[in-house]
Amino acid sequence: MALAPAKSELRAILDHAPWKPDKYEPEDAAAIQALASGRASAAPQRRALKWIIEDASSTYDMSYRPGGPEGDRDTVLAEGRRMVGNQIVKLLKVKIGQLRRAP
């Protein structure tokens, strides 16, 4: 069995560029639209939230991007996306009773 040729460094960087639109399927778009309209049942709600957290925000990905000053800019953008995902995950896990008691 032959191994596939390794990606070039440039191709790998471009494949993970934080400014590129994320991949989505028609079901992802339908779930987001149902969520926004307030008519999403449980499964589309979970699908939409999963896409937002894992794909659009890249919450669980490394935000570092190589490449000198351009890599720094890409890293900052990737980290900004991750922050959005982290805020959503935080609110999913926070104890609401403690928020209500906070001064």
pLDDT the model gives residue 102: 66
Domain count, the chain: 1
- Does residue 50 form part of some domain? yes
pLDDT in tens, 64-89: 988 888 889 999 999 999 999 999 99
Residue 15 lies in a domain: no
Structural domain boundaries, residue 41: 25-101
Q: Is 6 exposed, middle or buried (0-12, 13-18, 19+ CB in 10 A)?
A: exposed
pLDDT of 3-48, one tens digit each? 666 778 778 778 888 988 889 999 999 999 999 999 999 999 999 9
Q: Which amino acid belongs to residue 96?
A: I
**Any domain includes 69:** yes
The CA distance from 78 to 59, in Å, is 9
pLDDT score for 5: 63
Assess if residue 6 is contained within a domain. no
Both tokens of residue 16? 């993970």
Closest CA to 58 of 16, 27, 5: 16
Q: Using an 8 Å Cβ cutoff, are 39 and 94 in contact? A: no
